[in-house]
Amino acid sequence: MNLSENAKIVLKKRYLSKDGNGNITETEEGLFRRVAKAIAQSDLFYDKNADVDKTEKEFFDVMTKLDFLPNSPTLMNAGRPLGQLSACFVLPIEDSMESIFETIKMAALIHKSGGGTGFSFSRLRPNGSSVNSTGGVASGPISFLKVFNAATEDVKQGGTRRGANMGILRIDHPDILDFINCKENSKDITNFNISVGITEEFMKAVEKNEDYDLINPYDKKVVGKLNAVEVFNKIIDAAWRNGEPGIVFLDRMNADNVVPKLGEIESTNPCGEQPLLPYESCNLGSINLAHMVKTDNDGKPQIDYDKLERVIGTAVHFLDNVIDVNKYPLDIIDKTTKTTRKIGLGVMGFADLLLLLGIPYNSDEAVETAEKVMAFIDKKAKEKSAELALSRGAFPAFEDSTLYPDKKMRNATVTTIAPTGTLSIIANCSSGIEPIFAYVYIRNVMDGTELIEVNPILKNVLIERGCYSDELMHKIAKEGSLGHIEEIPEDIRRVFVSAHEVSPLFHIKMQAAFQKYVDNAVSKTVNFKNSATRDDVKEVYMLAYKLGCKGVTIYRDGSRSEQVLNIGKVKKENEESSCESCEYRFRDLSPRPRPDITTGFTEKVAIGCGNLYVTVNYDDKGICEIFTNTGRHGGCPSQSEATARLASLALRSGIDVKALIEQLRGIRCPSTIRIPGLKATSCPDAIARVISKVYEYQNGNNKSVNLNNIPDPHPTSTRKMRYCPECGSKIEHEGGCVICKNCGYSKCG
């Protein structure tokens, strides 16, 4: 197995089996053997003489070669007592107190077992409606959204992490305006993504600038009208401010509902790529397209369709088996899932594939490649599903499906483009169908040296062209892209574009290209620069509608206080502040533990009372501790020590280094006035100066520098930040989800 160091770290932290004391009890190879063996057993359900050893080897090989990986719950739980292998579920909410709290109970059990949940709150009567059974009034869907949030807030998935939720409300619900802005300044909804369920009728009203009806779901009566353009603009404004709500096109999803007789699709999983009926689950897996390249006789790279077909066949077989060996958290979910047998085969490493083929992500050729590849995957996946139907039977609801009486299928749906945050770290490839966020990362290690992490495809190309150097990698890391680095040949710069160089319109074009050949939906984030306007967001929304997408998720760089991995200029003080609400949980600022081993510097600084010795220590996560000691002449040891302790706590809590320096720098002590020529104006000022030098050293500048030359930091909030809840590192937006590149945390697997 050829695993990267990051992959090994993620597997050890999140996937490998552990005993009761937290000690790891299996190897990386043992994990894949465990999963392959467990999933292969399903063959015996259909043939008592099946060669499960052969199937196990086939599954093991495709995973250990990193050609295909199933969703995270399968890797975590297959062959273990929990045995819950599905990523996400959709649960119904009917308009009664009994139904609401029964669903809450089900959701808690699902989160406990390792899954996320999606809900539609559209059946709940609006706020202020009369309740005949009690003589009171209804509190409305938003109040119960808060109840669901609180109930699932602290339930960890399989004992590993907090689960994710999706909350959807139809555009024609009377409480839609409150829903659009329900997370604007709220601390009550921290564990939900929210999306507005858009109808075709509404979009037509938007195009014609007409009013549309608001309908009470209790009695289906029209209770009011709103102007469609005004409501659409409110959605756009909220998304521009903080990325929420997203939108899903409900009628479009139901047009592709293969089993309409079983019910209406009202919600999706938390990241929006899997529309599901109530009590259905999604069982997902992704093919690593970076491994589907070969060279022709002329040495030119091309897509290896023969290998891709083999992997598709194995993957469909694997995912169908998952449905049978899965230990579902509820009997009704078991029954419903097996009635339709939906699977979701998707991809990762698409951006890497384009790089290997020499195709820029932001090009028409890339869009054409996306269509061609996904059309092939969809076709071959359906062929394999039909083949399985011959030996195992069609899915039980086949005769009630829109597919009847054509060729029998084993699975009602076969393709989905899901986020692959953690999976792509394991496979060492780009995430889902997203462009690459950054090609070079610089990490400071504890011995004071720097570790340069370079995209392997870029590294190989630069070495082949004779222009690779550590100095150049530092420059790429600082710039955030290759676009303006003249030392790199133009043809390389043209191909190796980063996420921030891809226009939002190309993001949508790429999403739409994949959606053409995907049964379910596509999880993707449309990234905007901070300077993007509301009109820019509107243009993308309308294009998504016109090109046939089933939903849209957007993120404007720097629009939330938790900014992920900022490239370029930070928001100025006089610019409009972003909303503090977010689809993910904010954590209270608290210091991470002091590391056992640190590296640092001690500097003697002359102050008014003599000398102050300032020690600044750091680890791989940044500056973490400051000590002070006064010389023989005294000074204010208690005050300087207190300043150092508080600064240490602040830095280990995630407060930005420059923000701390700015608070300490320039404070004056009367003792310095009578001594001309002192560089430090006080003990706090001396501490700030040393912190500044260490900060610069960590960022590749070994010389003493002026404060004004310190690189702009990542934006921070003085109250709360959005960091990885497990390791404290900043998280990135991709695939309609988030991922921590440091430890592998992901809400979506």
Output the CA–CA distances (angstroms, integers) from residue 223 to 126, 196, 212, 279, 719, in the order listed.
Answer: 10, 19, 11, 31, 42
With beta carbons less than 8 A apart as the criterion, state whether 679 and 637 touch. no
d(C-alpha 153, C-alpha 719), whole Å? 21
Which residues are catalytically annotated? 269, 271, 273
User: What stretch of H or E contains 56?
Assistant: helix 52-64
Cβ 738 vs Cβ 722: under 8 Å: no
Neighbouring residues of 277: CB distance < 8 A, sequence distance ≥ 6: 90, 257, 259, 262, 263, 264, 265, 336, 340
Distances in Å between the Cα of 216 and the Cα atoms of 98, 129, 146, 195, 278 are 20, 9, 21, 19, 21
**Are 609 and 633 a contacting pair, CB within 8 Å?**
yes
Classify 606 as helix, strand or coil.
strand
Closest C-alpha among 597, 615, 580, 595 to residue 728: 595
Angle formed by the axes of helices 305-325 and 52-64, to 10°? 120
Alpha carbons 744 and 749: distance in angstroms, whole number: 9
Contact predicate 177/234, CB 8 Å: yes
Q: 189 near 164, Cβ under 8 Å?
A: no
Q: What span, in angstroms and rounded, lies between the C-alpha atoms of 337 and 401?
A: 15
Task: Quote the Cα angle for 33-34-38, to 5°.
Answer: 115
Task: Check: CB of residue 393 under 8 Å from CB of residue 710.
Answer: no
Q: Rounded to the nearest 5 degrees, what angle is found at the Cα of 105, between the Cα atoms of 99 and 111?
A: 130
Question: Phi and psi (nearest 5°) for 161?
Answer: -155, 165
Does a cis peptide bond (omega within 30 degrees of 0) precede residue 70?
A: no
If DSSP codes are grouped into helix, strand and coil, which group holds residue 733?
A: strand
- Go through 39-70 and write b for each residue having 16 or more CB atoms within 10 A of its CB, e for each that does not: bbbbbeeeeeeeebeebbebbbebbbebbbbb
SS3 85: coil
